[in-house]
Chains A and B, each alone.
Chain A
Amino acid sequence: MREKVAAQPPDEGGGTRGLPLTRPSGTLSRKGRGGPPSRPRRQTDVETWVAGMITLIARRIATAFMTILAVVVLSGLLVHVVPGDPVTAMMAQSVTASPEVMAEMRSQLGLDLPVWQQVARYAGGVLTGDLGTTIRGNEPVARLLLERLPNTFILAASGLGVALVLGVPLGFIAAINRGRLADTAVMIIAVLGVSIPGFWLGLAMIQIFSLKLGWFPVAGTNARNLVLPALTLGLIYCALVARMTRSALIEILAEDYIRTARARGLREREVLLVHALKPALISIVTVVGLVFAYLMGGQVIIENVFSWNGIGRLAIQAMLQRDYPMIQGFIVVFATSVVVVSMSLDILYGILDPRMRQR
C-alpha cells in the first residue's frame, strides 16, 4: 500500500494532474528507481499510455480470474473439512427419515462422492456459470444471490460512504495535528472502531435509536431500515479510513515539494488543500478497495443483526445448515465482488498514477 502512495510533483502549471497529455514527464520524483526516460514525442506518448493501460488491464483481469478460481477450489475443500453433514443437520431434532432415506438423499445430492470430485464438479459448474441449487429448498443458488446482491451493494456503498465522509476528515485532522490532542482523540476513536464488535454496536444502535427513541425500525429492508446498519458499518470502518488517511497524509506532508511549497510562502491552507490533499486522495482510492473487502466481511454480521435481506444473511443460514452449494455460491460472489472492486481501483489508480502502468 505504502509504495503506491503517489508523490505528486509540485506542478503549479494547473492542468489535470496525472493525465498523460499534460503530464510533465521527467519531473516525476522517482525515488531510487533510476532516471526518467528521454522525453518522448507526443504521439508515442499516447500510444505508450494506451499500450500500458491495456497491459495493465489484461494482467489485472488474468490475476482476478486466477484468484477467483483459487477461492472456488480452496473454499470447496474447506466447507467439506468443517464437520457436520447437511442431511444430518436437516434431521437434527425431528428425524423423519430412515437411514436408508438419508443415504438416498446424500447420494442424490452427490454428498457420497469423494471430496475432490465434489469440488471438481462444483468448480466445473462455476466455470459454466452454474452455481447449483441449495440443499435446503432446492432453489437455484445464483437466483437467490442475484436477488439479494443489490441490497448488499446498497448497504455496502452506504456504509462505505459513511466511513469515507467521517474517516477522511478525521484522518486529515489527525495528520495536521500530529502528536497533539486532536490526533490522540482521533486515534482513540480509531482504536475503538477497530475493537468494538460490529454486532454489539448494531444491537446498541437498535436499543438506542429503535427502542428508546423510536426513530428507525428494527428489522427490514427498505430506505428507513438502511440508516442504522449503514451507520453501524460506517462507524466501524471510518476508523480504518481515518488511520489510512492519516498515514498517507503524514507521508505526503514530509515530501520535498510540500516543504518547497511552504518555503515559497504559500499559505498553509493552500499547501494542504491543493498540494497535499489531492495526492492523499489518490492513495485513499486504493485504501477504499481494502476497506470495501473488510466491510463486505463485517456486513455479513450486520445484515443478520438488522435483518437486512442481503447475501450475508443467506450465508450465515447456509453455514449453520451446511448448505454447501449456498455457502460456496456466497463465497464465489463475495470473492468476485472484492476482486472486481479492487481490480477496478487498481486500473483507476493506473490512470491516476502513470508509474503503475510500467510495472
Chain B
Amino acid sequence: MTALKNMLKMPVAAALLAGTALAAQPAVAAGLTVARSVDADGLDIHKVSTTQSMQVTNLLFDTLLTMDRSGGIHPGLASGYTLSEDGKTYVFTIRDGLKCHDGSAFDAAAVKFNIDRALDPATVSPNASSWGPIDSVAVEGSTVTVTMKSPYGPFTAFLAGMQSGLMCPSSVAGAEFTPIGTGPFKLVSWTRNDRIELAANPDYVNFSPLIENPGKPHLDTLTIMVVPEAVARMAALRSGEVDMVEPSLEEAADLKDDDAFKVYAADLSGQQVFAAFTWKIAPLDNPNVRKAIGMAMNRDAYATIGFEGLVDVANCPVAPNLFATDEEKCASWGVSYDPEAAKALLAEAGYGPDKPLKVKLLVHKLQGWDQMHQIMQQDLAAIGVEAEIETREVAAFFDYMGTVNGKAEGEPAVWTMGMSGADPDYLYFLWKQPGFTNMGLSDTMDAELEAQRALSGDARAAKVQEIQQYLLENAYAVPLVSPGWGWLMASTAKVDGFKMGHMVTLLFNDVTVTE
C-alpha cells in the first residue's frame, strides 16, 4: 500500500488564533435569527435528502474531509488519508481529542458506526448509494480502513460534502434520535415545522478551508425559523424581527441596491439547470433537431431577465466549480445561441414555415424558471417551433416525466430540470439506465458512467469530460444557468461574514452582528 496523499495536521497557528478570537468576544450574547421557507425533514443525517435538512445537519455534524472553493479536498475530522494503488482501500487517520456536543469523544469507532448505520438496509438511507461500493470498514487505533469492492472515484468528494456528515454514536443512545455531533452548533430544541434553536459549540475546532474562524462561532445562538410565505419573510426582515431570510427572487433583486440589506447568492451551489428532450420520440431522436432547439435558446436572457441577473449562464451538464468541470471546453462542445443556424438545421430535417415543428414544453413551477420558460417559448417561436408550455407542481412533474421519458412515441417534448451535488458523479444518477425519471441513455453511456467511478485524479477528470462532451455534442442536454433554486439569502446590513458553501451550505462560523 502506497501513501498517495498525506495531508496537513491541525495547524498550531489556528489554535493560537482561536485564543485571540475568544478574548475579543463581546460580553453580550450574540444571536441571529434566520427565516427559511421550509423546515428540515429530519436531523438524522442518514435519513434525510433535502437541502433544507442538510443545511441544518451541516451545522451539527462535521465531515471526514473538507473541500475548498475550487473542489480541492482537504482534511476534516480525518487529519489525512491514504489510498492504495488499486484504488480500493482508503485508510483515514482520525484526529485525537475530537469532542462531541455531549462531551463524549469522537473517534475512529464513531466513523465506522456512521458508515455501518448509513449502509444498514434497515436504515433505508437515501444516500446509501453515494457511499459507494463499500465492502468492509475496519478500525485500528485511530485509523479507519475502508475497503471498496471496486474503485470509487467520487468517494473523497462525497466525504467532504454535507451528505456525509458524521454523528456521534450517542445520538442513537436514547429511545429517540438526538442529533449529537462535533459541528459548530449544538441543538437546543426543535419544534418541527416551526423553529430550530441552536447554540454555539464552545469546543468547536474548524477544519473547513471556506471558514476563517478557527474555533467557536462568534454567534452564541442561532435560530432557524420557518416562515412559509415569501411576503411574510420579507416583512419579518424589514421589521427587524429576523436578521436573515431566504428571499424571493423579485425581493432579492430589489434588495440588491438597498444599502440597508445584503444579498447573498451561492456560487458553490453545485446546481445546474438544463433543458432535456424526450429523445426517444421522433423527431427529437434526430440530434440536429435537438441542436436546433438548443441554438434557439437565448440563455443570456434567461439569466439576466428571467433570473434578474442573480444567476450565470452555465455551459456544462454539471455545475461550474465541480471536479473536472471546464466551462470553456463545454462551451466549445455544446450549442450556442444562433437562431439562423437553428432554422437551417430544422429546414434540413424537413421543418419550416409550411410545416412547423410542434412540441410540448414540460416544466415545473419555480421562481425565475417561470419567466425563463416564457422567454424560451418566444425563442422557439422565433425559429418556427410551436411550443406549448405545460406547468406542473414539482412532485407531479417528476412523476409525469418518469412516464413521458419511458415512452418511444407520443408528443415530442422539451423539458427542464435542475440537479445538484458536490461532485460530477450526479451524472451517474441522472443518465445511467434507467436513470432519474427514466432519462437513462444507453449501454455505452452506462459503461462510461461506471468507468469514471472506477477512476480517480486526472484519469477520472478526463473520463468525466468525455461524458460531458458526448452529452453536449449529441445535445441530450442543453445547459442553461447555474444556480437555480434556493440559492439566495438576504440579511440586514448589520450581519457580517455570512457565507454559503458547496451545495448551498449555510456557514455561520464567521458571522458577527453589529448593533
Contacts and interface: CB of A to CB of B under 8 A. Distances in A.
Interface of A: 82-86, 88-101, 104-105, 108, 136-139, 144, 199, 203, 206-207, 210-211, 214, 217-221, 304-307, 309, 313-314, 316-317, 320-322
B124 A321 contact: no
A96 B429 contact: yes
Contacts of A90: 41, 49-50, 126
B395 A321 contact: yes
Given A95-B436, A104-B124, A316-B228, A206 B395 contact: no
Contacts of B227: 218-219, 307
Interface in B99-141: 121, 124, 126-130
Contacts of A84: 393-399
Contact of A138 (B42, B239, B393, B417): B42
B193 interface: yes
Given A84-B393, A307-B194, 4 more contacts: A94-B49, A98-B129, A144-B192, A218-B241
B194 A94 contact: no
A312 B238 CA distance: 26
18 contacts: A86-B395, A88-B398, A89-B395, A93-B420, A93-B485, A96-B49, A101-B128, A137-B40, A137-B41, A137-B192, A199-B229, A210-B236, A218-B232, A221-B194, A304-B229, A307-B232, A317-B39, A320-B393
A97 B399 contact: no
Contact of A94 (B124, B129, B421): B421
Interface in B419-462: 419-421, 426, 429-430, 434-437
Given A83-B396, A317-B193, A105 B231 contact: no
Contacts of B475: none
Contact of A97 (B49, B229, B271): B49
Interface string B24-47: 000000000001001111100001
B192 A97 contact: no
A92 B39 CA distance: 16
Q: Range of interface residues on chain B?
A: 35 or more
B191 interface: yes
A158 to B, nearest CB: 19
B232 A94 contact: no
A94 B228 contact: no
A137 B42 contact: yes
B241 A322 contact: no
Contact of B50 (A82, A94, A97, A98): A94
A95 B395 contact: no
Interface string B253-296: 00000000000000000010000000000000000000000000
Contacts of B393: 84, 320
B395 A210 contact: no
A196 to B, nearest CB: 16
A52 to B, nearest CB: 46
A308 to B, nearest CB: 9
B399 A83 contact: yes
Contacts of A210: 235-236, 239, 241
B503 interface: yes
B395 A92 contact: yes
The residue among B229, B241, B420 with the most chain A CB atoms within 10 A of its own CB is B229
B89 interface: no
B220 to A, nearest CB: 21
Nearest to A322: B395
A82 B430 CA distance: 25
B226 interface: yes
A309 B394 contact: no
B236 to A, nearest CB: 4
Contacts of B396: 82-84
Contacts of A105: 124, 126
B304 to A, nearest CB: 23
A221 to B, nearest CB: 7
A317 B226 CA distance: 11
A86 B271 CA distance: 22
A218 B429 contact: no
Contact of B232 (A96, A101, A305): A305
B402 interface: yes
A76 B368 CA distance: 35
Nearest to B418: A93
B168 to A, nearest CB: 20
Interface in B185-224: 191-194
Nearest to A84: B395
Nearest to A218: B236
Given A211-B239, A321-B395, A97 B42 contact: no
Contacts of B505: none
A93 B419 contact: yes
A203 B420 contact: no
A96 to B, nearest CB: 5
A313 B241 CA distance: 20
Given A96-B49, A206-B231, A307-B226, A91 B436 contact: yes
Given A104-B121, A307-B232, A95 B241 contact: no
B232 A219 contact: yes
Contacts of A322: 395
Interface string B294-312: 0000000000000000000
B83 interface: no
B387 interface: no
A92 to B, nearest CB: 5
B231 A94 contact: no
A101 B127 CA distance: 9
Contacts of B57: none
A197 B251 CA distance: 23
Contact of B395 (A137, A313, A320): A320
A85 B368 CA distance: 25
A94 B419 contact: yes
A226 to B, nearest CB: 15
Interface in B355-409: 392-400, 402
Which 6 pairs show the lowest CB-CB distances between chains A and B?
A84-B395, A89-B395, A137-B42, A136-B41, A98-B129, A218-B236
Nearest to A206: B235
Contacts of A307: 194, 225-229, 232
Contact of B229 (A96, A203, A211, A317): A203
Contacts of A97: 49, 126-129, 429
A210 B231 CA distance: 12
Contacts of B402: 88
A91 B226 CA distance: 21
A297 B306 CA distance: 35
Contacts of B242: 219
B100 to A, nearest CB: 23
B182 interface: no
B129 A218 contact: no
A86 B126 CA distance: 13
The residue among A88, A137, A219 with the most chain B CB atoms within 10 A of its own CB is A219
A96 B429 CA distance: 7
Nearest to A305: B229
Contact of B235 (A92, A139, A211): A211
A52 B144 CA distance: 77
Contacts of B147: none
A181 to B, nearest CB: 36
